[in-house]
Structure formats: structure tokens, C-alpha cells
């Protein structure tokens, strides 16, 4: 599980130089999860003034539970990002460079290794849906008996909507007069 790239040669080249990489690797998304996720796709590294701009289109599968019916579902994820990785040392002398203004910015280490794993982890997490669904029209579970309504109706009687109570009472009064 690496996603590590030596960019020393790219950093020696003029601004605007590029490298293309096909990605097929595994990433541990969550420290509490024991299983890493396969990630595949493509990345372009572009030499910029302060380091390397990475543009990536990646794909992966996230195992989840449907938020309505609780069935296991494999969610396909598309992850697109563009992030600048800042050099941390001067290439020729090894002199430390001042850190970027943003303390959370991605850095290229002192050995000129650009590590994509943390960026992939962050963008994977943000690509996850807040309420994963097995399918858009998932009917969920019956709130009373727990029957999976995707497999058919349950035997529970229909629940009356309390918002109509006042109208029912008025109709009853009108019918009684």
C-alpha cells in the first residue's frame, strides 16, 4: 500500500512539465477498519512553482449498509480531486523551505516522495453519501414489524395519519346533524 511517487526528476524540470500515472492500489480508509479498499484510476502530476499539482480521477467500491433497509450494498465511488503538494526542501541543497500558508497543505517529504494515500483517504471519505441506499427507490423497513418492504408488504394494519383527526371529527359531527 504505497501510492508513493519519487518526484525529484519532475521537480528539476521547468514549470509545466507533467507525468501521467495509472493507479491500481489499496488504501486503508479508516484506521478502525481492518480492510483496505482497492482504488484505481489515473493521476496527472504537473510541475508548478512551489511543487506539484496532482489532478486525479479515481474509482473505488465502499461496502455499506442501506440506510433504509439495512441490506449490505457495495457503493461505487468516483473520486476527483486537484491538490497541490508543496516541496519541503530545496532540491539541490536540501535546505528546508518555509511551510505553505495552509498548515493542512500536502507536503512532498525531504526525500522528494509525494505520498497520495492521505489525499485519497480524505477525498474518499468526502465522496461517501450521508445516507447510502441500495437503490434510489428503496422502500425500507416497516417501523412496526421490521419487514423489508422491498420484498413485499407486511401484515401490519395501515397507520392512521393523526393530522386528519380534526377533519374526521368535523365530518362525524356534520353527518350526525
Domain boundaries, the chain: 4-138, 142-177
Report the chain's mean pLDDT, rounded to a whole number: 92
The cell 422502500 sits on which residue? 139
Q: Is the pTM of this model over 0.85?
A: no
Residue 32 near residue 139, CB atoms below 8 Å: no
- Alpha-carbon distance 117 to 168, whole Å? 61
Tell me the three cell numbers of residue 130. 450521508
- Alpha-carbon distance 77 to 69, whole Å? 20
What number of other Cβ atoms are within 10 A of residue 161's Cβ?
7
The cell 419487514 sits on which residue? 147
Q: Is residue 149 very low, low, confident or very high in pLDDT (cuts 50, 70, 90)?
A: very high
Judged by average pLDDT, the poorest of 17-26, 51-60, 86-95 is: 86-95
Kindly report the backbone phi and psi dihedral angles of residue 36, in degrees, each rounded to the nearest multiple of 5, phi listed first. Answer: -80, 160
The cell 507525468 sits on which residue? 19
- Go through the chain and tell me how many residues it has: 177
Strands lying side by side in the sheet with 106-108: 18-27, 37-48, 51-65, 72-87, 106-108
| Mean pLDDT of all residues in 42-54 | 97
Amino acid at each position: 500500500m504505497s501510492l508513493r511517487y519519487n518526484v525529484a526528476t519532475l521537480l528539476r524540470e521547468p514549470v509545466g512539465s507533467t507525468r501521467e500515472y495509472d493507479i491500481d492500489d489499496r488504501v486503508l480508509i479508516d484506521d478502525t477498519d481492518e480492510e483496505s479498499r482497492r482504488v484505481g484510476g489515473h493521476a496527472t502530476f504537473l510541475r508548478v512553482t512551489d511543487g506539484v499539482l496532482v489532478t486525479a480521477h479515481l474509482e473505488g467500491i465502499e461496502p455499506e449498509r442501506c440506510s433504509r433497509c439495512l441490506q449490505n450494498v457495495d457503493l461505487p465511488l468516483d473520486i476527483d480531486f486537484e491538490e497541490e503538494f508543496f516541496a519541503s526542501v530545496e532540491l539541490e541543497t536540501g535546505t528546508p523551505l518555509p511551510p505553505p500558508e495552509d498548515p493542512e497543505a500536502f507536503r512532498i517529504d525531504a526525500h522528494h516522495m509525494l505520498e497520495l494515500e492521505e489525499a485519497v483517504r480524505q477525498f474518499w471519505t468526502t465522496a461517501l453519501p450521508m445516507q447510502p441506499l441500495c437503490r434510489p427507490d428503496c422502500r425500507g423497513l416497516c417501523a412496526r414489524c421490521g419487514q423489508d418492504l422491498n420484498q413485499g408488504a407486511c401484515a401490519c394494519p395501515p397507520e392512521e395519519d393523526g393530522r386528519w383527526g380534526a377533519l374526521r371529527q368535523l365530518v362525524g359531527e356534520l353527518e350526525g346533524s
